[in-house]
Amino acid sequence: MSVLTRDEAQTRSRLLDVHHYAIELDLTRGDETFDSRTVIRFTVRGDTDSTDTFVEVKPAELRTVTLDGHPLDPAALDENRLALKNLAPGEHELRVDAAMRYSRTGEGMHRFTDPSDGETYVYTQLFLDDVQRVYAAFDQPDLKAVFDLTVTAPEGWTVLANGVTEHTGDGRWKAATTPLISTYLVAVAAGPWHSVRTEHRGLPFGLHCRRSLAPHLDTDADELLEVTRACFDRYHEKFTEPYPFDSYDQAFVPEFNAGAMENPGLVTFRDEFVFRSAVTDTQRQTRAMVIAHEMAHMWFGDLVTLRWWDDIWLNESFAEYMGYQTTAEATRFTDTWTDFGVTRKAWGYDADQRPSTHPVAPEDVRDTASALLNFDGISYAKGASALRQLVAWLGEKDFLAGINIHFDRHKFANASLADFIDSLAAATDRDVHAWADAWLRTTGVDTLTPSITGDNGSRALTVHRTGVRPHRIAVGLYDQDPGEEGRLTPRERLDLDVPQAEPRPIGKLPALVVLNDGDLSYAKIRFDADSFRTLSDSLSGLPDPLTRAVVWNALRDAVRDGELPAAAYLGIARTHLPHETDLALVDGVLAFAAGQVADRYVTPEQRPAALNTLAELCRDLIRRTEDGDHPGLRLIAVRHRISTAAHPDTIAAWLADGTVPGGPELDPELRWRILTRLAVLGATDEAAIAAELASDPSATGQEGAARCRAALPDADAKARAWDAMFASDDLSNYLFTATAQGFWQPEQADLVRDYVPRYYTEAVALAARRGPAIADAAGRWAFPAHAVDTDTLRLGQECLAGADPIPALRRKLTDQLDDLARALRVREAHAD
């Protein structure tokens, strides 16, 4: 499929004004294809040099095309482009009749049949350039138009769309006319949905899921709607422009590749957010944040849309920042920035230190394939961190004033970085343009290091910066509490601008200095020697979870940079995590300790000791929560106790009993988690997996069974799993991911050794055959991450140099190989 270049988009934008799409979809044509009929009304300007352009469509069959009533040859379709030549200035009408393929990869029109009850559902995911898999379009974000949509669906189905839909009889549904929106934001979701409907501020609100999840949605509907209403009201306090669409539906859809998608009026979420098993409050907080994030897009992205994909940060960074901030302001989840600090921010730091890094606002996004790669930790986490720093520097009042100027100037239109900076500049006397150049046009992570000089009683603090950005930070000074050993009390919080004009007096020597306390900037931090000794002994004695998140992130960075031995990190976790109260911190630290430290940063010989440390830590947490007062903390400890089990006895007994002693009872998620670990350890078999699947035949159960079967330490099981991933195209995106997650296990390195060189050749072929979504999954989940050795690195480098993987896979391989090289450096740094 030809990708759209920025130059082509700019040329087409100068030539065309697109006014209206009338789209008719027929979803009753069978399991493989659906019918798509599109009428596009557009104007050709008379003041351009070129009168040639093209429309995009990627059909199973292109039946007919007419331009102004004159037929065009369908055979002239070149890949996904149909040329429109010698267009006269003035009004035109293009009609396209095609059969389109359903997808099993989450791209275009995805079709899913629920194994629980046999019901079928379809939904669109048209981002970034998958519009052409569903209807013919001038597919670029700055050619906004009005859309009218009709859908013919099987009896018993409900059709959801961007606007309110009406059933007009004979299976036909008509959606209300949209305001001006971009092509990639058109949305349809059809099937026998279970729906919960209400109204708020005169607008219809709805929650929708597949019928098999109905009891779980009903259980959480009050919470979901409460969060939705609270965020909706808070945005109306922040923004002068009211919500610009006629309804607000939230559909939880199966096998969704992203967390959610901001289709105006019909936000689609992965349906794992309809919780069917026990979850922690942090998981509920994450769901609330995603709701707030997607709602922010109704303004940032839908009302005002980027002009070209170099400004995706105008969508994602703003929605990320607003999602966390608004959740904290408007809901019961007031500690969102701690979760951001320990999870999302680490995602940004990691991405920004790889060779694939890019500025938050890159200047050279040549085409749509390149743009798709930039939806990463930089565009989300780093961009949101930059905005948080901007608010700290600019002040929230001026920040919101600038945003509202931006909405007023560009509503229902498109805007660029320059437009946005101009809007901010109109609300402040500060040099926002210089700030943008320093923060949005540069790459890499700055490092801030403290030094303390002077005699006791007259100390001074200097913060040294490695990097290029100005930082407005808080510095926390902490003293040991004389009344309680291990407890730290805040002495003072200093506001500093880095670089500093001169050293800052701090009086007597503090026990601990924490740079970027409050986490308002984006930088790695280091500790002076005295502070490191203090936190090694007293980290859990810090009173604020956000401060502890800053410290844990700094320790994580030090491990990744080879400055702190992995064993020392595990020792600090072993000492302090049993006393931690913040769920996001416990889960984040354990995830890094298990997934990176134990699986990659220690040698195979050291791994059993690392797993034993983590198992002991989890046992302490489980003992601490026996009173039943901390169910979320206990659930986290149980999950990680399962995943780090080196021996099957304890967890096998839990599975046999159906409960952990003292709780919790094993729900489907925990049962599949235990069975997967037992498969890895060779302590279960196909009969047990089949029995579990018979008890839980849901889609999640199918994924659990695929994961378990791929994890069995058996040559035939590995061969079947490999063939399912790479020799066949039958697996959906979710079943591919589940199989990949089970296949590679550190405990089975010898068994799968011969598959490592095969991976590179077969992943390249798979990605070329199945496209970007599967390429992303193959690069993320099917990569042999356990194989931390120079041969794996060499094979990967040879693949990048000579095999020409498609961009989505190339980006993932580049990142994976950089992480592999880092793991080798970490091991080498502490080899003695």
Mean pLDDT of 816-820: 98
Mean pLDDT of 341-355: 96
Element (H, E) at 305: strand 304-306
Biggest CA–CA distance in the chain, Å, is 89
Upper half-sphere CA count for residue 767 (Cβ side, 13 Å) = 26
**Mean pLDDT of the 296-310 span:** 97
**Amino acid 482: pLDDT:** 87
The count of other CB atoms within 10 Å of the CB of residue 196 is: 18
- 500 phi, psi to nearest 5 deg: -85, 150
d(CA 258, CA 249): 18
Q: ∠ at Cα 792 (788, 797), nearest 5°? A: 125
Model confidence pLDDT, tens digit, residues 395-414: 999 999 999 999 999 999 99
If DSSP states are collapsed to H, E and C, what string results for 515-546? ECCCCCCCCEECCCHHHHHHHHHHHHHCCCHH
Residue (of 273, 125, 117) closest to 207 by Cα position: 273
Residue whose structure tokens are 């004979």: 170
**Do the domain assignments include residue 58?**
yes
Is 97 inside any structural domain? yes
Residue 1 clears pLDDT 80, i.e. is over it: no
Can you tell me the mean pLDDT for 504-528?
A: 97
- Assign residue 135 the CATH number of its domain: 2.60.40.1730
* 238 falls within a domain: no
pLDDT in tens, 10-45: 999 999 999 999 999 999 999 999 999 999 999 999
The residues near 787 (Cβ < 8 Å, ≥ 6 apart) are 744, 749, 756
Q: What is the pLDDT of residue 485?
A: 84
Distant-in-sequence, close-in-space partners of 802: CB < 8 Å, separation ≥ 6: none
- pLDDT-based confidence at residue 46 (cuts at 50, 70, 90): confident
pLDDT at 47: 77
Q: Above 90 in pLDDT, residue 752? A: yes
| Nearest to 132, CA basis, from 153, 107, 95 | 107
Place of tokens 């490695």: 466
* Confidence label for 516 from pLDDT (cuts 50, 70 and 90): very high
Gyration radius (Cα) of the chain, Å:
27
Phi, psi torsion values for 468, nearest 5 degrees? -125, -5
With bands split at pLDDT 50, 70 and 90, how would you rate the model's confidence at 121? very high
Backbone φ and ψ for 292, nearest 5 degrees, come out as -65, -40
The answer to whether 331 and 227 are in contact (CB under 8 A) is yes
How many angstroms separate the Cα of 611 from the Cα of each of 198, 618, 642?
Answer: 49, 10, 11
H helix or E strand, kind and range, residue 303: none
Question: Residue 386: what are its φ and ψ, rounded to 5°?
Answer: -60, -40
Q: For 529-551, how does the pLDDT look when each residue is reduced to its tens digit (9 = 90+)?
A: 999 999 999 999 999 999 999 99
Neighbouring CB atoms inside 10 A of 540's CB total: 19
Phi, psi of 554, rounded to the nearest 5 degrees: -65, -40
Cα separation, 524 vs 553, whole angstroms = 8
- Count of Cβ atoms closer than 10 Å to residue 144 Cβ: 21
Please give the Cα distance from 180 to 163 (Å, whole number). Answer: 12
Summary mean pLDDT of the chain = 97
Range of the domain at 18: 1-102+125-188
Structure confidence by residue, pLDDT tens digits, 127-177:
999 999 999 999 999 999 999 999 999 999 999 999 999 999 999 999 999
Residue-wise pLDDT for 461-490, tens only, equals: 999 999 999 999 999 999 998 888 889 999
In a domain, 232, yes or no: no
Strand order in the sheet with 524-525: 504-507, 459-466, 447-453, 524-525
On the 0-12 / 13-18 / 19+ scale of CB atoms within 10 A, 530 is middle
Q: Scanning the structure block, which residue is given the tokens 């299976």?
A: 171
The answer to whether position 22 is within a domain reads yes
| Closest-CA residue to 299 (of 407, 194, 215) | 407
* Cα(146)–Cα(151) distance, integer angstroms: 17
Total-model pTM: 0.98
What are the tens digits of pLDDT across the range 216-242? 999 999 999 999 999 999 999 999 999
d(CA 275, CA 216): 6
Mean pLDDT across the stretch 175-185? 98
The single residue of 56, 294, 669, 692 carrying the catalytic annotation is: 294
* Residue 49, pLDDT above cutoff 80: no
* Residue 456's pLDDT band (cuts 50, 70, 90): confident
Q: Taking the chain, what is the end-to-end CA distance rounded to the nearest angstrom?
A: 52
Q: How confident is the model over 362-388, as a mean pLDDT?
A: 95
* 484 annotated active-site: no
Those residues whose C-beta lies under 8 Å from the C-beta of residue 87, and which sit 6 or more positions away, are 15, 44, 51, 52, 53
Q: Contact 667/695 with Cβ under 8 angstroms?
A: no
- Does residue 135 sit within a domain? yes
Instruction: Let me know if residue 280 belongs to a domain.
Output: no
Q: Strand, coil or helix: what is 157? A: coil
Task: Read off the pLDDT band of 671 (50, 70, 90).
Answer: very high
Instruction: Please report the DSSP string for 626-662 in residue order.
Output: TTSS-HHHHHHHHHHHHHT-SSSHHHHHHHHHTB-TT
Task: Give the single-character DSSP code of 548.
Answer: H
Q: What is the pLDDT of residues 625-670, one digit of tens each?
A: 998 889 999 999 999 999 999 999 999 999 999 999 999 999 999 9
154 occurs within a structural domain: yes
Alpha-carbon dihedral 477, 480, 484, 490, rounded to 10 degrees: -10
pLDDT at 484 (0 to 100): 85
Q: What does the pLDDT average to over 709-719?
A: 98
Q: How many domains in the chain?
A: 1
